[in-house]
Chain A
Amino acid sequence: MAAPTTQSVPLKGKKGIYTKREDGRKFTDVRPMTAKVGIVPSADGSASFSTGKTKAIAVVRGPRTLHPQHMQNARTGILRVSYGMMPFSVEDRIRPGPNRRAEEIGKVTEWALSSVVDLSGFPNTVVDVFVQIPQADAGTRVAGINAAALALAHAGIPMKEMVSAIGVGKIDKTLVVDLDKFEDSEFHDAEGSTDIPIVLTSRKKEIALLQLDGKISVEEFKAVIELGKVACDDILKVQMDALKNAGDCKNG
């Protein structure tokens, strides 16, 4: 799938020392993105989503009866998300199993997806979403959410809206869309790097996830949200194409 470009929001950022991206992208460009559904045949829904070198897969199982029984909600089904990076996904091996970072990302992903799924028709059940990262180059939580939203739609889980996710940031003084690993965590000069994962709903364009670490003015932050909206529109197209191709054998 072709790389969408996001050029309609003019950059108002001041001139800083970060004037060029290593991979040749414009500051508002996302990386080349691909998406595919139906990658795990035994699951109720599944999808992969990649942006540049970052790859995410997501699997949905359920609705199924929730055990232990005391966790059940008689009014609605619940969504349960786990997120993990595979041991071989980064240069330094990650110890298998849950860790604090993975548990937090699982929870914020769960909140973001819960904002759009409607499980009121499936009381006492759970819908499990498993997100895994086979290869990481920053932006794994947003790639995981893009995959998970696709997997939920592929599983036929009722959703009020779709969600799309993007990492926006500020490198020194420059606003940047879809940060790679260098931009996200290896740029320390001048004002350094601010990373802002955002999840937006497809219709109301409301924020379903927002995190931020760094230094950014209120005005710049507002511009970041606008950049996020433009990028999420492009990602939504990639997601919708993948869903339309769900029945296509060559694609599935």
Chain B
Amino acid sequence: MGKFIMPNLQKEKIESYLGEGKRLDGRKAEEFREISVETGVSKNSSSAVRVKYGKTEVLAGVHLALATPYPDSPDSGTFMTSAELHPMASQQFDIGRPGINSIELARVIDRGIRESGFIDMKALCIKKGEKVYQVFVDIFAINDDGNLMDVAGLAALIALGRARMPIYNEEEDKIDGYDEKKGIPLNKEVLSFSMTFHKIGDAIVADVSKEEEAVSKFRLTIAMGDNEGKPRITAMQKGLAGTISDKDMETILKLAESKWSDMFPKIREDVFG
């Protein structure tokens, strides 16, 4: 994997701007880019969507396949997430075996969905111990202008929210397309989405651009869901080698709570349509 090249001059400029509460693209430190969502990207899957935060663009698709359940949960469907950070999306990415960035991305998104119980796995059982549906979420980065974690995470949620149930042909034991009218079983009330904050210079910054990401000291991803109108933490992941002080943590938690309140209603609408 190549390194993102960042002149020191640019780094100093980003940091000194943020010192005055400004960003190179004119946003405030805690401001997210405009989010756009497009559904129906591929008719051949259960669902496929495009999500953009500014210029960062990710596609995510859902497939359902027939599978044998795991022995320790014979009446549950199974779930798998993959993420392809394709070289078309960035200088940094290479063809081939998934690198650590795509592994981390896929695993953080996979855990968030799996552990929250967003997909009702029990309802994906066809015959206990023998046949269940396997749900695949496949993420594909089209353009990386920073914050792939949040963009890919939202794309995965929307793809699942819009996913259609397969039509099971019992006689031939195969799937005959998807039922346009029937969604996959979801526990809608546990929906949570992730927000990633970076420390740059002395500032805490949300939804970073590629250049900002390259000078980050640490990042902290926080996923929050709804608990009777109040935000509740459902997942966290710290990245990079910087350390988080008590003061930074306080700032991030406050920002996350207020951003969640601003963004959650719209995101719920985007996910469930």
Determine if A247 is an interface residue (Cβ-Cβ < 8 Å). no
Q: Are A107 and B100 in contact (CB under 8 A)?
A: yes
With both chains docked as a complex, state the minimum distance between the C-beta of A224 and any C-beta of chain B, in angstroms. 10
Q: Are A210 and B241 in contact (CB under 8 A)?
A: no
- B227: chain A residues within 8 A (beta carbon): 215, 217
Q: Which of B116, B232, B237, B246 contacts A216 (CB 8 A)?
A: B232
Determine if B271 is an interface residue (Cβ-Cβ < 8 Å). no
Q: Are B240 and A111 in contact (CB under 8 A)?
A: yes
Inter-chain CA distance A190–B151, complex, in Å, is 31
- Interface size class for chain B? 20 to 34
Determine if A212 is an interface residue (Cβ-Cβ < 8 Å). yes
Known A-B contacts A104-B104, A107-B100, A225-B249; the reply to A216 vs B233 at CB < 8 A is: yes
Q: Please encode chain A, from 14 to 53, with 1 for each CB lying within 8 Å of some chain B CB and 0 for all others.
A: 0000000000000000000000000000000000000000
- B236: chain A residues within 8 A (beta carbon): 196, 210-212
Q: Please encode chain B, from 85 to 105, with 1 for each CB lying within 8 Å of some chain A CB and 0 for all others.
A: 000000000000010100110
* CB-CB nearest in chain A for B240: A111
Inter-chain CA distance A211–B239, complex, in Å, is 9
Q: Are A213 and B232 in contact (CB under 8 A)?
A: no
Inter-chain CA distance A45–B100, complex, in Å, is 26
Known A-B contacts A100-B103, A210-B244; the reply to A217 vs B232 at CB < 8 A is: yes
Q: Are A212 and B235 in contact (CB under 8 A)?
A: yes
* CB-CB nearest in chain A for B100: A107
* Most chain A CB neighbours (cut-off 10 Å) among B112, B235, B236, B243: B243
Known A-B contacts A210-B220, A210-B238, A216-B232; the reply to A115 vs B243 at CB < 8 A is: yes
Interface segment out of the listed A5-13, A133-141, A145-153, A200-208: A200-208
Inter-chain CA distance A208–B98, complex, in Å, is 25
Q: Please encode chain B, from 250 to 273, with 1 for each CB lying within 8 Å of some chain A CB and 0 for all others.
A: 000100010000000000000000
Determine if B128 is an interface residue (Cβ-Cβ < 8 Å). no
- B107: chain A residues within 8 A (beta carbon): 100-101, 104
- Interface size class for chain A? 20 to 34
Q: Please encode chain A, from 98 to 118, with 1 for each CB lying within 8 Å of some chain B CB and 0 for all others.
A: 001101100110111011000
Tally of contacts, chain A with chain B, CB under 8 A: 83
Inter-chain CA distance A222–B244, complex, in Å, is 13
With both chains docked as a complex, state the minimum distance between the C-beta of B17 and any C-beta of chain A, in angstroms. 25
Determine if B139 is an interface residue (Cβ-Cβ < 8 Å). no
Q: Which of A104, A115, A206, A214 contacts B234 (CB 8 A)?
A: A214
- A205: chain B residues within 8 A (beta carbon): 246
Known A-B contacts A214-B234, A216-B233; the reply to A115 vs B242 at CB < 8 A is: yes
With both chains docked as a complex, state the minimum distance between the C-beta of A84 and any C-beta of chain B, in angstroms. 14
- B28: chain A residues within 8 A (beta carbon): none
Determine if A218 is an interface residue (Cβ-Cβ < 8 Å). yes
Q: Are A218 and B238 in contact (CB under 8 A)?
A: no
Inter-chain CA distance A208–B112, complex, in Å, is 21
* CB-CB nearest in chain B for A207: B244
Determine if B231 is an interface residue (Cβ-Cβ < 8 Å). yes
- B106: chain A residues within 8 A (beta carbon): 100
Q: Are B103 and A115 in contact (CB under 8 A)?
A: no
Known A-B contacts A104-B103, A104-B104, A212-B233; the reply to A114 vs B241 at CB < 8 A is: yes
Q: Are A218 and B241 in contact (CB under 8 A)?
A: no
- A215: chain B residues within 8 A (beta carbon): 116, 225, 227, 232-234
Q: Are A201 and B111 in contact (CB under 8 A)?
A: no
Docked complex: A177-226 residues within 8 A CB-CB of B:
196, 201, 204-218, 221-222, 225
- A206: chain B residues within 8 A (beta carbon): 243-246
- B241: chain A residues within 8 A (beta carbon): 110-112, 114-115
Docked complex: B200-250 residues within 8 A CB-CB of A:
220, 225, 227, 230-246, 249
Inter-chain CA distance A89–B233, complex, in Å, is 31
Inter-chain CA distance A209–B245, complex, in Å, is 12
With both chains docked as a complex, state the minimum distance between the C-beta of B231 and any C-beta of chain A, in angstroms. 7
Docked complex: B145-173 residues within 8 A CB-CB of A:
none
- A218: chain B residues within 8 A (beta carbon): 231-233, 253, 257
- B240: chain A residues within 8 A (beta carbon): 111
With both chains docked as a complex, state the minimum distance between the C-beta of B121 and any C-beta of chain A, in angstroms. 12
Inter-chain CA distance A132–B240, complex, in Å, is 22
Inter-chain CA distance A208–B218, complex, in Å, is 9
CB<8 Å pairs between A and B, sample of 14: A100-B107, A104-B100, A104-B104, A110-B241, A204-B243, A205-B246, A207-B244, A207-B249, A210-B220, A212-B236, A213-B111, A214-B115, A216-B232, A218-B233
Q: A210-B238, A212-B236, A213-B235 are in contact. List 9 more A-B contacts (CB 8 A).
A: A107-B100, A107-B104, A201-B243, A204-B245, A206-B244, A206-B246, A207-B244, A213-B111, A218-B232
Which residues of chain B have a CB within 8 Å of any CB of chain A? 98, 100, 103-104, 106-107, 111-112, 115-116, 220, 225, 227, 230-246, 249, 253, 257
